[in-house]
Amino acid sequence: MAHSIAVIGGDGIGPEVVAEALKVVSATGVDITTKEFDLGARHYLETGEVLNDSTLEELRSFDAILLGAIGPAIGSTDVPPGLLERGLLLKLRFALDLYINQRPFISPDPDSGFQGLPIDMVVVRENTEGTYAGEGGFLRRGTPYEVATQGSVNTRFGVERTVIYAFRLASQRPRKHLTLVHKTNVLTYSGDLWQRTFDEVAKEFPDVNVSYSHVDAACIYLVEAPQRYDVVVTDNLFGDILTDLAGAVSGGIGLAASGNLNPERTSPSLFEPVHGAAHDIVGSGKANPTAAIRSAAMMLDFLGEKEAASRVFKALESSPKTNLRTEEIGSFYAERI
């Protein structure tokens, strides 16, 4: 039976890179049906709606969601900051309980990592809690005595299921190594919950070697010694920061893919490049669709199409010439399936 895919091109270069990802999926011959959803900045400006309830319910009926990018141009004033992100991308992560954000980083060839250091790591980012819960508020807003609070909400339930997922993943990889990244020396409440949960779950996985890095130190290691990491598990905001950095040091953010996963498959998982909408290069042919293509390969894999997925991953090991345009890069990979 065909897999049904909801396609959200979104904003900026989102639609351009998603088109190339679908070109490559199509080359695999896997049977899919797609339906496009016009959501994002343009849709909001035309209709005043970000994501209405009936669209959300419709999205639930698909097998997976493929998304390009969401967000207005930096500095644009048409759309209030965070409205699209919170109302669409983050809403989907929360409403569909996509609690794992899995982001693999592989330097394309052994010498291409930053300073020639080979990178082969996966970040498992908790995706439904922390500061992304949106807790906070204002007191005396707009006065000299204003206080703005922003909370991070962390539950044993949410942290534990993420940590268990990360241990399972680590135990299946050759190095069997898992690092917790947090800032336990300053974030003494949330850090304590993460550290305790990590230590307790570790007892169930005696074959996995564990380590810990403070988030600031992890940034240094990602630049100077990324081979230190195999699987990294971390909270929502640190995961956001670390994965952009890991993308930059492992061949560029144009290569970094992600899966927003509901491992129990009670709702469709969502696959998207780590990069943003990059409004400044829309239509220039400069957008790199590789991250979107790799995200689509993660989608095929998650849908059980292991063989097709591995053909796409294999194709992604070839490097196209530099200076190819977006659609030429898509065709380059499609021809190698």
Ligand X SMILES: CC(C)[C@H](C(=O)O)[C@@H](O)C(=O)O
Residue 151: CA atoms inside 13 Å, Cβ hemisphere, count? 9
Starting at the edge strand found earlier in the chain, the sheet holding 32-36 runs 32-36, 3-10, 64-69, 269-273, 257-261, 100-106, 120-126, 231-234, 177-182, 209-214
For 125, 187, 229, the CA distances from 219, given in Å and listed in that order, are 15, 17, 12
153 binds, among a copy of itself, ligand X, none (CB under 5 to 8 A by kind): a copy of itself
137 binds, among a copy of itself, ligand X, none (CB under 5 to 8 A by kind): a copy of itself
Instruction: Specify the DSSP class assigned to residue 275.
Output: S
Among the listed residues 132, 165, 229, 333, the single catalytic one is 132
Q: Out of 61, 78, 110, 156, which residue is the one contacting a copy of itself (CB under 8 A)?
A: 156
Q: Which of 129, 240, 124, 235 is nearest to 182 (CA)?
A: 235
Whether residue 216 lies in the annotated active site: yes
CB of 279: closest distance to a copy of itself in angstroms?
Answer: 13
Residue 90: CA atoms inside 13 Å, Cβ hemisphere, count? 18
Question: Which residue, 56 or 153, has its beta carbon nearer to a copy of itself?
Answer: 153
Q: Are 137 and 150 in contact (CB under 8 A)?
A: no
**Interface positions, 287-316, toward a copy of itself (CB under 8 A):** none
Q: Which of 103, 102, 67 is nearest to 88 (CA)?
A: 67
322 touching a copy of itself, by CB under 8 A? no
Give the span between the Cα atoms of 255 and 114, in whole angstroms.
14
List the structure tokens of 202: 């570790």
Residues that bind ligand X (CB under 6 A): 70-71, 85, 89-90, 185-186, 216, 240, 274
Whether residue 301 lies in the annotated active site: no
Whether residue 183 lies in the annotated active site: yes
Whether residue 132 lies in the annotated active site: yes
Question: Which residue, 70 or 180, has its beta carbon nearer to ligand X?
Answer: 70
Give the span between the Cα atoms of 190 and 182, in whole angstroms.
9
Q: Out of 28, 127, 162, 190, which residue is the one contacting a copy of itself (CB under 8 A)?
A: 190
Residue owning tokens 């290569």: 255
Whether residue 207 lies in the annotated active site: no
174 binds, among ligand X, a copy of itself, none (CB under 5 to 8 A by kind): none
Residues in contact with a copy of itself by the rule CB under 8 A: 71, 74-75, 81-82, 85-86, 90, 114, 131-132, 134-138, 142-157, 160, 183-193, 195-196, 212-217, 219-220, 223-224, 237, 240-241, 243-245, 247-249, 252-253, 276
Catalytic residue annotation:
132, 183, 216, 240, 244
